[in-house]
Amino acid sequence: VWNFFHRLSVTLCQCHGGCAEVDSLTEAVAGEGFLLGCISCKRREEVSGQATVDWYFRPLGEEDFRHIFHYNHPTADILHEDFSGRLEWQGTQSSDIQIGAVYMHNATFNDTGTYRCTFHRTLFLSLADEHVTVEKEVELTVVAVANRELTAVIAEIMMYVLILFLQLWLIVVLVYCYRKVWDEHEAREARKALKAQAELLDSKDNCDGVQLE
């Protein structure tokens, strides 16, 4: 679920043209897909540029990183056999890359380790081009069963509290509306009774007047 919402946030960033540096999730479930998030926003959106993105992987317990993926729009290359057919570009669909996310299919326990995302960016400034390198790391753990995060538990509790509150509020509104309608009905009936009583008194007075004549 959280992986879905993270992918949704990346998609929204792409659709609306904005950029927000959202941290990647850090826990994958064996046998399922996982989004390796990596976002590097330009300091000034109006400055055009271009970038390439490289992903590196260091398995748990090892010292050296392996070059596993390279993206240079529109070409994506998987560079290590352990990830063959399992990495899919989910980042910016243009050469001016700010989102360098990669989707990993069928995560395995061997995928646990450190992932490094590197942006090589060129900004086209009026005086001279500027070359920038940005690195971000993701510590990924692959587990057999997804652990429910505290935020997920709190969100679920808050959802039930909100539902309960809305139900109670609806009951209060219904009772209030019923009482208001009933009071209006009672007042209308009281007015009718008073009007009927007044008409009866008028009729009686008229009759008494005729008898006196």
What are the tens digits of pLDDT across the range 89-107?
999 999 999 999 999 999 9
Residue 159's pLDDT is 81
3: which residues sit within 8 A by CB, 6+ positions away? Answer: 25, 32, 33, 34, 35
For residue 137, the SS3 value is strand
Q: Output the pLDDT for position 150.
A: 57
pLDDT at position 201: 74
Tell me the two tokens of residue 166.
């809305």
- Please give the chain's pLDDT, 213 residues, in tens: 444 444 444 444 444 445 778 788 899 999 999 999 999 998 887 889 999 999 999 999 999 999 999 999 999 999 999 999 999 999 999 999 999 999 999 999 999 999 999 999 999 998 899 999 999 999 999 999 877 665 666 777 788 788 888 888 888 888 888 888 888 888 888 888 888 887 777 776 666 555 555
Rg (CA), the chain: 35
Give the pTM. 0.64
Look at residue 210 in the predicted model and tell me its pLDDT: 54
DSSP letters spanning the chain: -HHHHHHHHHHHHHHH-----PPPP-EEETTS-EEE--B---S-TTS-EEEEEEEEEEETT--S-EEEEEEETTEEEE--GGGTTTEEE-S-SSSS--B--EEESS--GGG-EEEEEEEEEEE--SSS-EEEEEEEEEEEEEESSPPPPHHHHHHHHHHHHHHHHHHHHHHHHHHHHHHHHHHHHHHHHHHHHHHHHHHHHHHHHHHHHHHH-
Which CATH number is 27-147 given? 2.60.40.10
